[in-house]
Structure 1
């Protein structure tokens, strides 16, 4: 009986470049490593240096980075970072994925991408290149509700946001959600 050659599993984990979203993805990467999977943790050049200096990454975790397109001293506000990641970051990500389709330095080709759900370009590019991909949302249920409630906040005219006032029009978040 002939058996097909086994292909080593290699997952590329790509979180959104914010600490609260990096940490859960690092936990996922560590769990995958513990299961014997090859893992590459991809991040922005700006954040990767901060991650590496904050604590030693797990052994066998391969760290790679791409530029986010913003200067080092930029405050990286959400919308500016998103725009830059969708242009500069996505082009660098595509090039990196193309190069990762070939084995190198005892590292098998990337066989799957797990990207943060806030970066649809990451799964789109992977799938365009024939790499299975999934979006993994690491933010809390409260954050999800807050994001989904933003149209209602605008509809109620509760913007622009004055400092630390409560948002009153979002069901279930009264007394919790603040501007």
Structure 2
């Protein structure tokens, strides 16, 4: 089951996961519009919950983690992949230039919207990262919360267990 608060994103997901693109062994996926702060499923409905590049957009991140905890079975796993700000002295200047100038410029060219993707570096910088993020996960009830930085710290994978 795939959920997103945006109906347009759900439409794109449905198009990308059309019956023509499925392989023989893939299961059907149901896509639905829903708010991750109020997931419309009963307690302990899932073995796994994943979020890719979305928690930085949650209005109340702790509430979102509590909801994900609620719908996970005991022993269930949470995996969050999120953009992050690199801290290394060699990569940080390139990252700042890329996120402040290149990404917004490409976003403007593609979408014809002056604000397109300008929010990205702001939203990345505003979201808790590293130990702050795993502390929030633990506060929501998760155990064994950990993270692993990828791509010189531009992306981080967070894992936790119910």
Q: Per the shorter chain, which TM-score range?
A: 0.3 to 0.5
Structure with the greater alpha carbon radius of gyration:
1
What's the TM-score once normalised by structure 1's chain length?
0.30
- Greater relative contact order (CA < 8 Å, ≥ 6 in sequence): 2
